[in-house]
Amino acid sequence: MIKKVLIANRGEIALRIHRACHEMGVKTVAIHSTADTDAMYVRLADESVCIGPASSKDSYLNMHAILSAATVTGADAVHPGYGFLSENAEFAAMVEEHGFIFIGPKPEHIRVMGDKILAKEAMVRLGIPVVPGSSGGVTPQDDVDKICEAVGYPVIVKASGGGGGKGMQIVRDPENLRQAITIAKTEAKANFGNDEVFIEKFLETPRHIEVQVLSDEHGNAIHLGERDCSLQRRHQKVWEEAPSPAISEKQRKTLGELCSDACVKFGYRGAGTFEFLYEKGEFFFIEMNTRVQVEHPVTEMITGVDIVQEQIRIAAGEKLRLTQKDVHFRGHAIECRINAEHHQTFAPSPGTVVAYHPPGGLRVRVDSALYGGYRVPPHYDSLIAKLIVLGNDRAECLRRLRRALEEFVIDGIQTIIPLHQDLAKNLDVVNGEYDIHWLEHYLESKEPAN
């Protein structure tokens, strides 16, 4: 069994991993930059090591510093959390080459799923439906007109090695196609160091549905149902819920089994998430995340499964303790991502938290590393907390969410709590009638006229 885990991350996910470890009797090592010296996860960990200055590239992305910290503290394993190096195949390989256990998938699986073209090719072989498009990378000089004619306009040009909305261009007519490819390639190169792009059919009103899986090295895999992550801004998720209000129990079972079967065929190890676009009764694979997701708590709330602890057990070589028959879905859960941003302009709002009071009560969970007096640094992602609530059904969940949002106090900095309060009362959201473009249109309607 793993006895000591180095947590190669920061903020709320570092604290989340620490809690999972301590409940298992596993000691933790927190790494931190000079900007995170007073962070809660650093205070609570059994040991801590400063690995560099505030800049991510000099600290949380510094592979050699992280491995040195693991060595000097005698850690058995490294948990990468999400973001930073969590989906870096080179880092995963280095961890294993230095004799540590990487709490995540095999490096080769991270590498394949990190390339959207290779990932699509793998899914086709595994029988997972994919969005129609080019079979590989394209350039402005290729015969791209035939590809677009075959799939039909509109299309989207996407970077093969990235995400987060970067390196993406929507094309609605042939006249703009080649220019869009050039722009997407330039953005992809600047952001990911890889200018390869591909073409897919652009779906006008899809929902974003993802399936959580767990798979061990002994040929066992299960799914933990789906999450609906359709409320997004600039391709970044804002609100997630499980189960999805848009799909049926039959669809849930079919899609989940398809994903868990694919894990067995692929030889996948650890936790993972298959992400799909869903439109007009059809699911289309878009990517697989080979790590724990920001929104994993909603799945934990409706299943009672601790996904981080299962990651650790799988990494230690244990067989899955659960079969699919052991997984039961109870109630409805919603997660609101709380960012340190202005709720209208979305300008970042680092600074000192003057007062902090998280909501409580039955079936209310807050994942956050905040405390009164903590200074939110300006150097990292703006996510500072996640509010997750559970209800017996979606209507009760929404009522509990509205009450919890009213109680949530974070003073001294701006947050997007007011946006979530608006969303929780909006009729489209209440009725579950939204797609991945809905939030963008909603925010545009709120902008003051010039």
Which residues participate in catalysis according to the annotation?
291
Calpha distance 30→21 (Å, rounded)? 12
Q: Which two tokens stand for residue 388?
A: 């997750």
Q: Which two tokens stand for residue 117?
A: 């073209």
Residues 6+ apart with CB under 8 A from 79: 5, 6, 7, 8, 9, 17, 103, 104, 308, 311, 312
For residue 336, give the nearest of 400, 379, 393 by alpha carbon.
400
223 backbone dihedrals φ, ψ, rounded to 5°: -115, 150
